[in-house]
Amino acid sequence: MAVKFQYNKTSQQQMDKQLKIREKALPTLQNKEAALRIEVKRAKKRADELGHELETKMADLDKISRLWGEFDMQAISIEDVVLESKKIAGVQTPVLKDVVFKKEPFALFSKPVWFLDGVKIVEDLAKIGIEREVFMRKMQLLDVARKKTTQKVNLYEKVQIPGYKDAIRKIKRFLEDEENLSKSAQKIVKDRQQKQQEQEVES
């Protein structure tokens, strides 16, 4: 992206202003990018931990899969997932507050002795799975923001700031050349006038 400018003082002032804005904003953007990078890693690590925990618990349940055939899956369902929003480096991210379960009434004496434990296991698995999804979403949102911030940092650092500096240098050089030419022209005119006066005096 080439910086558009004109060879005059007004254009130079505009370029100076734009350059200062970008130079002032760059460290803030770099800090934001670094913070987002850390938060993306943190969210990914937590999502991976929860994924591993879920896999481990599911593998443990496989050992008693015979019992799960007796479990009534209609006994419990998810009624609501309560989310809150938290700002991280200017990005709104979801935070899991609670998972609300709906439990159907059942006669305990007509169920296996481990049925209440089964309900608790289903609750735990659902919470872990939902929390993992929330962290995955958080990671995605932060990563999108990080990519945009990285693009802006690169744009400022590699394109716009050098572009504005180059434009200012060109304008200054042009104005200096113009001033030198103007002075040279004035000197020539002055010398010519002086010679003319001298000739008039002699004649």
Tens of pLDDT along 82-92? 999 999 989 99
- Is the pLDDT at 112 greater than 80? The verdict is no
Domain boundaries, the chain: 9-193
- Tallying the residues shown for the chain, one arrives at 203
Longest dimension (CA), the chain: 138
- Across the range 124-129, mean pLDDT stands at 94
pLDDT at 65: 67
Residue 142 and residue 93 in contact, taking contact as beta carbons nearer than 8 Å: yes
Strand-pair partners of 92 = 87
CATH topology of domain 9-193: Helix Hairpins (1.10.287)
Please name the helix (run of DSSP H) or strand (run of DSSP E) that holds residue 85, with its range, or none: strand 76-88
* Nearest one of 63, 59, 37, 182 to 125, comparing CA atoms: 59
pLDDT of 143 over the 90 cut = yes
What is the arithmetic mean of pLDDT over 146-155?
A: 97
pLDDT digits (tens, 9 = 90+) for 45-55: 999 999 999 99
CA distance 144 to 86: 16
Q: Is the pLDDT of residue 177 over 90?
A: no
Closest CA to 160 of 25, 28, 22: 22
User: Number of H helices and number of E strands within the chain?
Assistant: 4, 2
Q: What average pLDDT does the chain have? A: 89
pLDDT score for 80: 94
DSSP code, position 101 = E
pLDDT of residue 203: 60
Q: How confident is the model at residue 181 (pLDDT cuts 50, 70, 90)?
A: confident
